[in-house]
Amino acid sequence: MEFTRQEMMAIATGREIRDGDLCIFGVGLSMLAGYFALAYHAPNAISMTEGGVYGATPVGGLPWGIEDNRISANATCFSNAIDALGFLVSSGKCDLGIIGAAQVDKFGNVNTTGFWTDPTNPYFGPPKTRLTGSGGANDIGSGCKRVVIMMAHELKRFAAKVDYITTPGFLNGGNEREKYNFPGGGPVAIVTTLGILRPDPVTKEFMIDTYYPFSSIDEMKANTGWDLKVSPNVGITPEPTAGELEALRSVDVTGMLKKK
């Protein structure tokens, strides 16, 4: 079956969800990946939004926001952001979170705050481009046991060092994250439109784990702003099966993937 880069990315991200996981994901492609997993291979995973809508599945298509009626109509529980982010996520009880990124660096730090003309200047002035900010991503990146970053693989987005750390990955690498007592384990994968990156177990620098059937190691390297290393066990990401594509497209009622 034919499939797009966005469909490959959504399915590859959804495969990171295990049956029984308590998951939190925001709107957009991350939510599509999450609900694909619930529909296909992880029926006992539990969804949660940043606003505290718990145990729901979308009705009539994916929601435009985290408390849209499409997701709240059949929720198991309604709570609030303090319960969702302040208790479940920040206590380390949430198994997996999926977040997006405008910019990411080699240690999985995420920037969704802005871009600066000179990000090395210690006196931050107004950014040349102001982005949407953190939302709940900082809480998710700090508190979830596993974090998956989902984004387009473009040179301008993959920087050796982000302009601003909105959401911590492994900071400067190694065991530095452990110094700050984050309850979560940090990012386990960066799933992109070209392949999947995973952190080196010692240095925590992200490297190519697998590349998609339609991409290559050279293409991933060419679209990365640091000397992207390759895992010694590098391979090709399995293509979506017919069943996976059918489940994904059944969730994507409003055609979100077609708009990308």
Name the active-site residue from 7, 16, 50, 205: 50
Q: Among 155, 223, 189, 218, which Cα is nearest to 33's? A: 189
120 contacts: CB under 8 Å, gap ≥ 6 = none
Pairwise CA distance, residues 151 & 83, whole Å? 27
Q: Among 131, 99, 38, 79, which Cα is nearest to 47's? A: 38
**Tokens in use for 28?**
């957009």
Pairwise CA distance, residues 227 & 207, whole Å? 9
18 contacts: CB under 8 Å, gap ≥ 6 = 42, 45, 95, 96
Pairwise CA distance, residues 187 & 96, whole Å? 10
Pairwise CA distance, residues 53 & 74, whole Å? 10
Q: Are 213 and 11 in contact (CB under 8 A)?
A: no
Give CA angle at 84 (83, 85), nearest 5°. Answer: 100
Respond yes or no: is residue 154 known to be catalytic: no
Tell how strand 46-48 and strand 22-25 pair up.
Answer: parallel
CA-based R_g, the chain, Å: 18
CA-based end-to-end distance of the chain = 20
Residues carrying an active site annotation: 50
